[in-house]
Structure formats: C-alpha cells, structure tokens
Amino acid sequence: MLNIQLTVNGELHTILIDPAETLLHVLREKLGLTGTKEGCGEGDCGACTILVNGKSVNSCIYPAIQADGCEILTVEGVEKNPKLARIQQAFVDHGAVQCGFCSPGMIMATCALLDENPTPTDEEIRRGLSGNLCRCTGYQAMVDAVKSLI
Amino acid sequence: MKQYVGEKRGRLEGLDKATGRALYAGDYRMENMLELVLVRSTISHGSVRSIDVSALPEDVMVFTGKDCAENIVADIFCDTPVFAGERILYLGEPIAVVAADTREKAEAAAKLVKVEYDLLPVVRDVEDAKNPAMPVLHGESNLLTDFFNEKGNVEKGFAESYLIVEDDFETPPQDHGYMEPDACFAYVEDDRLMAYTSSQNVFADRVMICRALGLTPEQVRVRAAFVGGGFGGKDGHTCQIYPCLVSWLTKRPAKIVLDRREVLACTYKRHGIKMHVKMGFSKEGKMLAFDGSAVLDTGAYAGYGASVHGLFTEHFTGPYDIPNVRLKTETYYTNKATAHAMRGFGAPQGAFATESIISRAIARLGLDPIQMRLDNALEKGSTGSLGQPMDHCVGLKDALKLVQESDLWKERAANTDPYVGYGVAGGFLSCGLGQKITDNAKVSVQEREDGGFDIGVGLVDIGQGSGTALAAMAADLLETDIENIHMVMADTDKTEDCGPTAASRSVFIAGNALMAAVKQYKKAKEAAECGIVPAKGEAAFPESTMDMGRIGFPHAMYTFVAQAVKLRVDPVTGSVSLLDIAAATECGKVINPLGLSGQIQGGIGMSIGFCLGEDCSFKDGVLVHKDFSTYLMPTAMDVPNIASYHVDAYEVSGPMGVKGAAEVSTVSIAAAINEAVRQASGAELNKLPLSPEEILKALESREE
Ligand code: FES
Ligand code: FES
C-alpha cells in the first residue's frame, strides 16, 4: 500500500492505494464518486472516461499510481464549472441522455473534444466520441448536442 | 394553457443522469456491505459431482441452492434453478455465490471454489437438438414449441405467380448490449427485505425473490434503481435473487454487479434463427404467395422463447397484404445462454429474410422499391398473415411516402458512384402482450400539499422515456405545469402492478389508466369540493378479435416503419460505410417528438450492429466473441446521420391517440442495408453479420 495525492474536482486528497488499483476504483470506492461508471472494465466502452490533467482517459485501465500529483476532473466536477455545465444541459435538451449510463463518460469526452477543438465538424465530433459506446441513442442526439455548443 | 403533448422535451430526470447524481443499482453502498461474485459452471452440459470450498478464507461466505427456500426462478415456465446442480445446461450457469467485504476478495475466493463435473454431450445447435441420439434438455424432446398455419392456398398462389424467389437465411444471436451491467443491491430494514434492481419489472422481481427465499410479498420491497438500459434483457431473471438471498440470510447489505464478460457470455440473448423464405409475385409485383419456415434456437431455458416464437411467426411475412401464406416454425432448446426477449422480439430476423427476398424480386421485375411496397402494404381493414384483422390505425403507406419524399431518396437518381447503393425496407411490430395474456395497469393520481401531483405507475422507465411522456400527458390532463407533476414509478410499496416494461406497451397502457385516474380524480374533487382526494384508474390492452387458440399472438395493433439507407462499399476491403439513413414511423399520435426520434435512432443503431458487426455466435456452446474489443457494437463513427420522420396519425383506442414505439425501430434497417450492399456490389448475402469477404468476392466477379 502507498499514498498518492490527487486533486479531484479542485479538492486535494491524500489516498492510500494498492499499487495495482485503478483510478476508477479509487474514485468510486474510496472517494464515493459514483458518477463515473464502469461498463466493461477493459478500456473498450468509455463509460469510465475522466480527465487527467485535461486529457481524457479510460479510468478503468488507468493505474491510480500514475495519477499521483495530477488534476482529475470527473462528471461531478463538470457541474461546478458553468462553461462545462452547458454541455450537460445541451445533452439533456437534445435528447442525448436516455438511460444515462454512458452520459458521464460521453460528457467528459465532449469536454476534452471541445477543449482541443472548439469548432469540430460533424465528422470530428463523431471521431471525438467514438471511444464511448452508447446503446440507446444511435449517437445522433449527441452529435446534435455538441453542435449546439459551437 | 400550455400543451405538453406533442412538444419536444428532454428527459425530466436528464440532469440527474448528466451530472452523475443518479444512482444505478451498482452505485449503492452501505456500511458493512457484502459484495458478491457468482461461481459459474465451466462446462456447457452435465452435472455437478462435488463442490469443494475448503480452500476459501474464513471471512468469505458461500451460498448454494441448499440455502434457497425453493431453488426455482419463478417465471412463465419455472424451469430455471437459482443455482444449477443436478443439471447444468449452459456454460457459465450459476452454481454458487461467494460473499466477501470487497469485490476483489470475493473474486479471488470464487476462483478457489473447486467444482467437479460429470459431462454430457453438448447440444450445440438446432440440428443436434433434433437428433434423437442427443440428450434431451427438458421434458420429452428438445422442441419448446412449434406452429403451422396456412391462409388461402399457397400452391395455387405460386402456380399463378410470374416470378418466384426463394432462399435460406441465417441470423446469429445478438447481445442486448445495455451499457449498465446487470446489478442489484439489497438490505434488510425493520425485518423487511429491500432491493434496488436493474430490471424491467419490479413486481416480477418481487415474485421471484419471494419464491426463492420463501417470503411473503409484504416482507419484500423492490424498487427500480436508475436502469442503464434493458432492451428486453432485464425483463426476467438477471441477478436480483442473489443479493436478496445473501442479505436476508446474513442481515447485511449485499450487492452484485456482473462484469461485462459475464454479461456477454451468460445473460439473455436475441434468438439466432435459420429461415427459408419462398415468395411468388405477379408481373406487376403483387405478392401472391408466401411460404416461410424457420427454426429458432432458444438456448438452455424457456425464458420468453415461446413468446418470441409467436411474434417471429406473426411478423415473418412483413407488413404486407398477401392472400396465400404458409408458416411453419419451430423453437428448440440447446446448451447455450438462454435466448429471450430483445427489442423487436423476433421481427428483425424475419424482416431481414423477407425484405431481402422482396428487394431481389423488385430488382428482377424492374420495379420501384417504394411503389412496389406501397402496392402491397397493409392498410386499415386488410388482414394480416394469420388472417388477423387490421382494425386499428395502419400507417405503413404514409411512412413509405415520407421516405419517398426524403432528401436521401430523392438524390438517389442522381448518383453516379458505382460503389454507392440505396436500400429501403418496410416493417411492423405489434404492441401489447397479445392474446390471452393479462395485460393491464393501474395508475394513481394523488394531489400533494404543494399543489402538485404524484402520479404512481408501477412500470420501470429503463431509459426509453416513458416517465417523461406520461408526465406530459398528466400535465395536459390535469391542466397544470409539468413541474407540478411528480412521477412515482416502479416501487412495489408505492405503486400498483402494471406488468412488464415490454412489448411497446408502457405509454399506451399506463396512459389509458392515467386518463381513467384523472377522470376519477376530477369527479371526486367536484364531489368533495375541497381537501385532497386520491384517485385510481385502470386500463386493459385491447385484444385481437381473432383467436387461434394460441397464447401471446396475434395482436390487436401494430406500429409501422419504413427505413432507407445510403451506403458505400469499399472496393479494396469490401467493408461497408453507411452514409445516410431516413426513417419514417407511424405510431399513432406522437407525445414527444424528441423522445420518439431517440427511440428510432437508438433502435436503428442497435440493428446496424446486428447487420454489420455483432456476432454473438457460440461454438460448441462457447461464446466466440467474449468482450467489447471483439463483440463489436457500433460507435459514433459507424452510425450515420439518421433523419427521423413521423407520420401524423391517431389511434382511437390509445390514450390521446398513442400506440407503442420503442421496439419497431429495430426491425427494418438490416434488410435495407443488405439491399443497398447488393446494388453496390452485386453480393446477394443471406447471413448476418454481412461479410466483407463475400462483398469483395462479389465485387471481383462483377469487375471481371
Ligand atoms: S469501463 Fe472503462 S472503458 Fe469500459
Ligand atoms: S443513454 Fe443509454 S447507453 Fe447512452
């Protein structure tokens, strides 16, 4: 076991972890941040997407130890940032939230996408979201939601 | 007064989900909680000789069938044990459950349970199931159910035909692919068992839990947590009994969350089906005769297999008026994960075969694909393939015309790229549970102190948006703002049994019950003059006037679609890129256009996977593609722009004119894609998912 330091949604935490522990496990089980979901646990679905120092990662395969000293943004932190909270509202208003299980990951992927490229084309939006599976929407509503923000 | 019905609206609970506040079953936790992991069989067929748990650490507990009051899952057939023992019928069947204070510990302990087996030959497929030398899995034979019917005179129809087209088709099983793995959380409070399930029917959950644990309904409260998709796959025995059993016996909170590989390998599937379709046409393209036979592979247990068999059969011909129809269908048990309800309920498989035959006939006769379908479309007053009357609103023609007028279809004539193809297909799907199945609902309206209303509905909103649609209806009926409507759903203590969230029935049946409740409320309010009056309303789903003596079909009403696709095949790799989709739907009055578009686009996305990538086949009882890196569901790059067009219609028996809509979206696109691929490559493909190698082969022979 060892200690790491994480700044999660602006708050600094010192956390005792197992060296093999994933960042997703730390967030959900140690910090109680259950907004980040686990859809596969193998890096294939994007439900666990969060931002580490501004870059989107699949937290289910990201070793927590590697995040020592990093800034983490999860869906719970998005709401507190009015600029990013617009993404959440746009998702709801355009019907991009159905069952909602993919939504936290999709919204984090959208944060990363718009940060890197504030005016993406349809194709770039689809590419930007292609690491995140959604079984409910057929993705059209997400593309519409992201387009409404640019 | 503002009208909510007909207005575009995002989910009422949308922000809870988008902010991560919404709790799904796996998100619950409590002090002193146990986490569970199932010990699953490593064989497909046989029996357990011994279970050795001596290697397990002391702080880990193990439970088996002996710990159940009755080791039976209460469902239609009651053929499934909670824990397998005497008989194992599929690979991954639960044998025991391990409980520890962390999941990691439980996982490690589950691996230390040693199980010895006696093996039996594996019934791999329907051919094996029919083979008298192979073991019988249930009862006297491996046949679960069969059906034969002839309407008109099929041989005469073929004799009068100008063109006959026939072929064999095959579709593999499909996984529901809901993003939230199955989960359940349970705890004991005041001597009562409390469960949060990820399920499509909390009242059925309660029946299952009570029977397995030997409890009375009063002792158990089941609530649906937020449900991360179901699509039919959570309408049954998922994993809800295990944490309930452990929690009840230990009095500690208990939680189970399946991992994705378990979900893919062991949970319910869409039926794999082998079909033969033969159709006869006049020179002008009139459909004169249909002869269809099929065998469905239902896997290890009955599940909803018999119901899917019925709906597959009922929808096999497609939504056309064909005077002579012969249908012969059979469903068999095999040693695989159980096939069950899945969005579309057998209709997408039949549509793939039949619409492909229709498209090939259209090409040979040189007809227009939409006009030919219009010439044969069912309409109000015609009879379906079984002879059932179409007495309700039948809008297939309107849907076909909307596709005809779409940009996608209009630009078709101008295309010059030889690798681009356009396909269209029609489709339909019944609403309601069908003949002779209790299909009703009770909804309550309760005025609140704050002037708002609680609307109690015992159905689960599994993500499809029934709560939002019903709230809009309630606001209009009660003439109030939608903010004043509070939906109370899927709680066995607070709502009444409304049956399953299935069969595209929720908004129809609960909407009718809601209308009755509001009427009752208004009457009581007038009589009481003041004070808070509770009110209840009931409704029953209409049944078909035709009775064939069968349970579950035919139905009194159907929803209709026409879907078209534009795509391009890659001449180098044979792979298919979808470029555009136009989808038209007639489902009566549209309550929420945004919600309906979402259902249509989502269902199409799911069937794009069915057509182009998702292969859930089993080899010798073992799933071939075991994870999301090999079981390929469509991403945002695989699904094109989907324009959703809605027919403006009205069904008189529905609440405010509604019919069901959530499932029909899955029915037609695979056949439309298959036709477009044929045009773009010359490949006549009969097996899903479509094979790029076959497409390439066809392209090469075309170019020679
Ligand atoms: S849960 Fe991390 S990618 Fe699926
Ligand atoms: S909204 Fe259900 S998985 Fe995306």
Burial class (CB in 10 A: 0-12, 13-18, 19+), B307: buried
**Which of A99, A129, A146, A149 should be substituted to probe chain B, the one whose Cβ sees the most B Cβ atoms within 10 Å?**
A99
Q: Give pLDDT, residue B530.
A: 61
Q: Does B593 touch chain A (CB under 8 A)?
A: no
Higher pLDDT, B27 or B436: B27
**Chain B hits for A38, Cβ within 8 Å:** 26, 181, 257
For the segment B496-543, what is each residue's pLDDT rounded down to a tens digit?
Answer: 999 888 878 989 999 999 999 999 999 888 887 666 777 999 999 999
For the segment B273-310, what is each residue's pLDDT rounded down to a tens digit?
Answer: 999 999 999 999 999 999 999 999 999 999 999 999 99
| Domain contains B3 | no
Question: Given pLDDT bands bounded at 50, 70 and 90, which one contains residue B436?
Answer: confident
- Contact present, B471 and B487 (Cβ < 8 Å): yes
| B479: pLDDT strictly greater than 90 | yes
Q: Does B641 touch chain A (CB under 8 A)?
A: yes
The CA A98 to ligand 2 mean position distance, Å, reads: 5
The phi-psi region of residue B287 (left if phi > 0; otherwise alpha if psi is between -120 and 50; otherwise beta) is beta
Interface contact flag, A88 B15, Cβ < 8 Å: yes
**Chain A hits for B257, Cβ within 8 Å:** 38
Interface contact flag, B228 A100, Cβ < 8 Å: yes
φ and ψ at B118, to 5 degrees? Answer: -105, 130
| Domain contains B18 | no
The H or E element containing residue B363 is helix B347-365
| Domain contains B156 | no
> B544: distance to nearest CA of chain A, Å?
31
- Looking from the CA of B62 toward its CB, the CA atoms found within 13 Å total 23
The angle, 0 to 180 degrees and rounded to 10, between the axes of the packed helices A140-147 and B593-612 is 120
Interface contact flag, B636 A142, Cβ < 8 Å: yes
Dist CA B88 CA A97 (whole Å) = 40
The answer to whether residues B425 and B574 belong to one domain is yes
For the segment B208-226, what is each residue's pLDDT rounded down to a tens digit?
Answer: 999 999 999 999 999 999 9
Torsion of CA B191, B197, B200, B206, to 10 degrees: -20
Q: Which atom of ligand 2 is nearest to the CA of A135?
A: 3
Q: Which residue has the tokens 């993404």?
A: A87
Give the end-to-end CA distance of chain B in Å, rounded to a whole number: 68
Dist CA B321 CA B374 (whole Å) = 10
Q: Which of B257, B289, B310 is the last residue of a domain?
A: B257
The answer to whether residues B71 and B195 belong to one domain is yes
Please state the domain count of chain B: 3
| B170: pLDDT strictly greater than 90 | yes
For B405-530, list the strands marked E by DSSP.
420-430, 440-447, 453-457, 485-489
For the segment B35-54, what is each residue's pLDDT rounded down to a tens digit?
Answer: 999 999 999 999 999 999 99
Q: Give pLDDT, residue B658.
A: 94
Whose CA is closest to atom 3 on ligand 2? A134
Q: Which residue has the tokens 């993919």?
A: A102
| Three-class DSSP category at B483 | helix
Q: Does B177 touch chain A (CB under 8 A)?
A: yes
Give the mean pLDDT per block of 10 residues along chain A (150 residues): 97 97 98 98 98 98 98 96 96 97 98 97 98 98 97
Q: What is the mean pLDDT of residues B80-102?
A: 96
**Which of A58, A122, A140 should be substituted to probe chain B, the one whose Cβ sees the most B Cβ atoms within 10 Å?**
A140
Dist CA B581 CA B673 (whole Å) = 10
Q: Position B290: which residue type? A: F
Dist CA B647 CA B627 (whole Å) = 39
The answer to whether residues B344 and B487 belong to one domain is no
Task: Give the ligand with the smallest distance to the CA of A132.
Answer: 1
Give one DSSP letter per residue of B635-649, joined into a string. -TTTS-EEEEEE---
The answer to whether residues B278 and B317 belong to one domain is yes
Nearest CA to B441 out of B365, B499, B382 is that of B499
- Contact present, B362 and B369 (Cβ < 8 Å): yes
Cβ of residue A109 lying under 6 Å from some atom of ligand 1? no
The answer to whether residues B295 and B329 belong to one domain is yes
Domain that holds residue B244: 25-120+182-257
Nearest CA to B440 out of B546, B520, B544, B511 is that of B511
Q: Which of B213, B229, B257 is the last residue of a domain?
A: B257
Give the end-to-end CA distance of chain A in Å, rounded to a whole number: 45
| Domain contains B411 | yes
A142: tokens are: 């997400």
Indicate the domain borders of chain A: 2-74, 78-147
For B451-506, list the strands marked E by DSSP.
453-457, 485-489
A94, A101, A138 ranked by CB distance to B604: nearest: A138
The answer to whether residues B201 and B55 belong to one domain is yes
Q: Give pLDDT, residue B703.
A: 79
The set of residues, in sequence order, having a beta carbon less than 8 Å from that of B1 and lying 6+ positions away, is B479
Q: Give pLDDT, residue B188.
A: 98
Dist CA A4 CA A12 (whole Å) = 10
Q: Tell me how far the alpha carbon of residue B12 is from its chain's centroid.
A: 24
| Domain contains B149 | no
Task: Tell me B215's DSSP state.
Answer: -
Question: Given pLDDT bands bounded at 50, 70 and 90, which one contains residue B473?
Answer: very high
| B191: pLDDT strictly greater than 80 | yes
Q: Give pLDDT, residue B141.
A: 97
Domain with residue B524: its CATH number is 3.30.365.10
The answer to whether residues B339 and B385 belong to one domain is yes
The answer to whether residues B230 and B203 belong to one domain is yes
Q: Give pLDDT, residue B630.
A: 96
The answer to whether residues B588 and B666 belong to one domain is yes
Task: Write a three-state SS string for B63-79.
Answer: ECHHHCCCCCCCCCCCC
Q: Give pLDDT, residue B280.
A: 98
Compute the residue count for chain A.
Answer: 150
Cβ of residue A134 lying under 6 Å from some atom of ligand 1? no
The answer to whether residues B406 and B361 belong to one domain is yes
Torsion of CA B11, B14, B17, B21, to 10 degrees: -130
The answer to whether residues B527 and B393 belong to one domain is no
Question: Given pLDDT bands bounded at 50, 70 and 90, which one contains residue B1?
Answer: confident
For the segment B547-557, what is each residue's pLDDT rounded down to a tens digit?
Answer: 988 999 999 99
Q: Give pLDDT, residue B531.
A: 63
**Chain A hits for B13, Cβ within 8 Å:** 100
Domain with residue B105: its CATH number is 3.90.1170.50
For B473-575, list the strands marked E by DSSP.
485-489, 534-540, 558-569
Dist CA B390 CA B422 (whole Å) = 30
Lowest model confidence (mean pLDDT) among B133-142, B266-275, B335-344, B540-549: B540-549
CATH class of A2-74: alpha beta
Q: Which of B257, B283, B316 is the last residue of a domain?
A: B257
Torsion of CA B392, B395, B396, B401, to 10 degrees: 170
- Contact present, B273 and B294 (Cβ < 8 Å): yes
| CATH superfamily assigned to domain A78-147 | [2Fe-2S]-binding domain (1.10.150.120)
Q: Do domains A2-74 and A78-147 have the same CATH topology?
A: no
Q: What is the mean pLDDT of residues B484-491?
A: 96
The H or E element containing residue B116 is strand B114-119
Q: Give pLDDT, residue B529.
A: 64
Q: Does A129 touch chain B (CB under 8 A)?
A: yes
**Chain B hits for A81, Cβ within 8 Å:** none
The answer to whether residues B658 and B604 belong to one domain is yes
